[in-house]
Structure 1
């Protein structure tokens, strides 16, 4: 017998299994896990259930352990099912009877009675989650005193941020879409908005881009017809920012499908860039550039608000591998600058090794970031770099974690 809502729960179980056991991202796992789920609403539900289970995993496990005489193994299926069931009732406000009806069938042929007993016990106790999710011990060790504020910023999925093609029309679009702006050219809307149905999408008046992700390109200022290389450019948010600011943009990336999306975004917004499919570690430009924006590959731990899988699958090995790759890319990019040219290096990572640990390439001098270039409430570090964490601007909805440095070619 078909059980309404069961495919979405099966997909959610497959998603967290792919993250926790195989180290996949939610996006990587989504294709296979969601293949049998019909309808956008059910696919979104599966992602939401898995996301909340991963966001609150430490606290959900503590609840489960408090209601079992013998601790369930970390990789036991009943533990995963209980994580999903509790995430639904405690985070998504799904009625308990619906959670039971769609949760216990996930243990067909297994210990349904155990899962039912644990869930019922916790419901009778009035189980709740803390106001702030508990981070995995490995994250707390790496982030130190920043861990508390970061965790506070991860309690809720993020709002929807838009970058405007014309910053001069910020107030107009704020009124038309009912959003708030934290800096000219930016608009923030409540999460859940259907992006493609919003006014201004078809005519390319804006694109989706987290506030923190928009800051690196802003630090290059107005282009005035000068040349800029956007390294690792896809899917195109920074490319469009730079083109809208008057730069002549070369957008390079080694991912063909993501570059197709970049071209679609350029076509929708009416902006122009030279698009290059190439590996930045093998490619050589014909001419040097007035500016380069290197938004380098990274562990992406700064995106944990919308991708809570990074809390559980990123460790020291991945961080070290990415830091080595970033250093190689920085060295190559520095050689492609005109004298007096500007290099902006950015990563959406919370890891010091990928940010503060990256040394200035030879021949480049720091160009400190100033407070006047940033949204109110965000200040540069003492060394003149930019470090954002998810807990910043919490009253306004927070932002992703980024690290940004800026240098000038001697």
Structure 2
């Protein structure tokens, strides 16, 4: 928007020429996101407290989390506002890059909307004295799958780049493009995209169990994807690094920078001891955003590296549940309860029960997230 209004005056005011540079607009989006989080944060937190929108403590969490039941949730509204507004201000929507921005933003809002409905229903059910189940799980999953199917069909039938719509790339390989064996199997790309998008949103949701954990990890992942979007959107840099050039994809740098700024700004309120939680509004929205960026950059497998901690958290839950069900069926309930894979799941609760303070778990997981980011960046040269 700013580019559209100010660029015509660039001949008279040289300063406006900076709007031609993605790096400048990304920095502008980051700072704007931070300021919005700082400005609207207090008002939203006060409103949530007044409405008694409290966090629902998940079943199976450590006893130390009992006091978190009075902390307001739905703080993801801060993140959504601090992401969408900077993207609208600093993004260019008059080029192919605008399609990248629009798709990523719509996915984030759709997933965030599902999370908002879930949080709202939990609040309403609590007021009515009902069990706080929120949005029925199958309806939540149906909404996520719908987003994945629509995104997969759109990218398959209307590719945003010169690469085939039904394709993806592999890290550590030069110009390695994975496409279906035949055109008749191209439809498999749709369930693939659906799986990635649904998995990414749920992974961040599962990780959001400690103060600042998911927020910090998402900020690290968003910063990493911002670098990938920038180099993939430049024909010279992509050629030098021997990766596919995606015309217009550089605009996703704006989107990722805005997410980074929004998450860092939200940490002001979400760091231990948290004054507000993001809730499903934030976790599903952020997970959907990361999944959408990975899909748009044809880097779905790279998401496994960048989001390595998210993957570990999800795998811990899958292992815990599947092994418990198997042992209960095979050996009985008492045996299954005594012989668990982890002391608690997701993984961060395992270390809490093992004696790690909450802040120690969070910071160490952030360090692992940084390590995953460095490993992902290494794929740019190790090819």
TM category, shorter: under 0.3
Q: Which has the higher contact order (CA 8 A, sep 6+)?
A: 2
Structure with higher helix content = 2
Structure with higher strand content = 1
Could you state the TM-score of these two structures normalised by the residue count of structure 1? 0.22
Could you state the TM-score of these two structures normalised by the residue count of structure 2? 0.23
